[in-house]
Amino acid sequence: MAVTHDICIRGAGIVGRTLALLLARERLRVALVASPRPPDAADVRAYALSPASRTLLQSLRCWPAESAATPVLGMQVQGDGAGQVHFSAAAQGVDALNWIVDVPALEQQLTQACQFQGGIDVVDEPVAAPLTVVCEGRASRTRAEWGVEFDRTPYPQHAIATRLDCELPHGQIARQWFTADGEILAFLPLDGPQGHRVAVVWSVRAERVPELMALPDGAVAAMLADLSGHALGALQLCAPRATWPLLLAAAQRWVGRVPNDAQRSFALAGDAAHAMHPLAGQGLNVGLGDAAELARVLAASEPWRTPADLKLLRRYERARQGEWLRMRLATDSLQLLFGRPEPLAAAARNWGMRLFDASGPIKSGITRLAMGTA
C-alpha cells in the first residue's frame, strides 16, 4: 500500500530539514526531497544564529557541540573613520549575543535526526501531497517552474568566504570592518571559546572578484591582516575560497495553488522566499523563523482545514512577510549607508556610529531585535 504524505518538502538544507522535524513532531507525514549533492570543495560557510534559533534547534536536539557553535560574547564594528560600535553580551545580561555555527556540523546533526525521526521519508523525487513547501534556495527551480516571480535587486558586491587560522585567540568576539570604498569584512569566531580560527565573509566590489580569487593564499591573508588592523596577529588561510553574488530579493507570492491542480497548494520558505545582504547575519535566522511559523500555523489549524487550505497558509505568509520586511529595511539601510564612498557620507556614518554607540536604550533595543528577543 502506497504511503500517503501530508506535506512534501523540496529541499533538504538547514531550513528544509528543520521544517521536516517540526512537522513530524506534530504527527504530520513528511516526504523530504534530498537531491544528491555533487562532490565539491570543503564547505566554508558559517552562520550567526540568534538565541531564538538556538532554542528552536535545541528543541529538536540538533544543536551542535560547543566546538562547532561558538558563543559570541561581544561584537566590534569599525567604520572607515573614527566611528566604532561595541556590543556586549554582559551589557544585555545574557550568556551570548549569538552563536557562530559551522554549517557542515549543523547539517550533519539535522541529517541524522531526520534519519531516525518517525514520520519523515527521505525521497529522491517529489511526491504528490496536499502541501508542497519549497526550500530549494534562491535559485529554486520549482518556484520558477510554477511561475512565481522573484524580484531581484543586485548589490554591487560579491561575497568571498574562507577561513583563517590566527596567531591570536579570537576571544569569542565577532569583528566587522567597513572600508571607505564600500567593502565589508567580517571575522566570525570558530572552534569554541579558546579558538584561533575565524570564518571570513568579505563583501567586495564585483569587478575585484576575479583578481582576488586568483591571488595566492599568502597574498590574500596579508590583505586581510592589513584590512583588520592586525587585530588577530598573523593570519593563514586554512580553507578554499568561495564566492557568490549578493542581492536583495523576495518572491511576489509566498503561498498559492500548484499550477493545474486545484487540490494542492505550495508555500515558500527560507531563501526560496527571500534573500538579503549578509552584513547583519540574519539570513538563516529568518529562514528558521519561516520553518517555525509554518509548523506553528499548521499545528494550530482548525480540525476541518487541510494543509492545502489557502486561508491557513496566508496566516503564515502575513506573519513572515512582516518579519522579512523589518529585517530587509534594517540590512538594506545599513548596506546603502556604508556603500557610499563620498566624503560627506563617510563623515555622517562615522558620526552616526559614535552617536549610536552612546545611545543607551536605543542601542540595547536594536541589540535585542537582532538577537530575536525583542
Query: 33-82, pLDDT tens digit by residue?
Result: 998 766 666 789 999 999 999 999 999 999 999 899 999 999 988 877 66
Report the pLDDT value the prediction gives residue 350, as an integer from 0 to 100.
Answer: 65
Under 8 Å CB-to-CB from 299, ≥6 apart: which residues? 26
User: Mean pLDDT, the chain, as a whole number?
Assistant: 88
How is residue 209 written as a grid cell?
Answer: 572578484
pLDDT reported for residue 325: 78
Q: Degrees (nearest 5) of the Cα angle 23, 27, 30?
A: 50
Q: What Cα–Cα distance (Å) separates residue 8 from each residue in 16, 126, 258, 333?
A: 10, 7, 12, 36
The alpha carbon of residue 116 and the mean position of all alpha carbons in its chain are separated, in whole angstroms, by 26
The Cα–Cα gap between 47 and 103 comes to 7
pLDDT at 126 over 90: yes
pLDDT at 287: 94
Q: Which residues contact 288 (CB under 8 A, 6 or more apart)?
A: 14, 15, 18, 49, 53, 56, 57
Which residues are 228's β-sheet partners?
none
Work out whether the CA dihedral 145, 151, 154, 158 comes out positive or negative: negative
- Separation CA 4–CA 31 (nearest Å): 9
For 203-244, write each residue's pLDDT tens digit.
999 999 999 999 999 999 999 999 999 999 999 999 999 999
For residues 12 and 34, the answer to whether their CB atoms sit within 8 Å is yes
- Taken as a whole, the chain contains a residue count of 374
Q: Are 92 and 371 in contact (CB under 8 A)?
A: yes
Query: Can you give the pLDDT at residue 155?
Result: 84
Give the amino acid at 309.
Answer: D
Q: Which domains does the chain have, with CATH numbers?
A: 7-153+246-371 (3.50.50.60)
Alpha helices of 117-254 — where are they, by DSSP H?
141-145, 209-214, 217-227
* CA gap 127, 124 in Å, rounded: 9
Do 363 and 86 meet the contact criterion of CB atoms below 8 Å apart?
Answer: no
Exposure string over 255-277, b if 16+ CB within 10 A, otherwise e: bbebeeeeebbbbbbbbbbbbbb
DSSP reduced 3-state for 277? coil
pLDDT at 247: 86
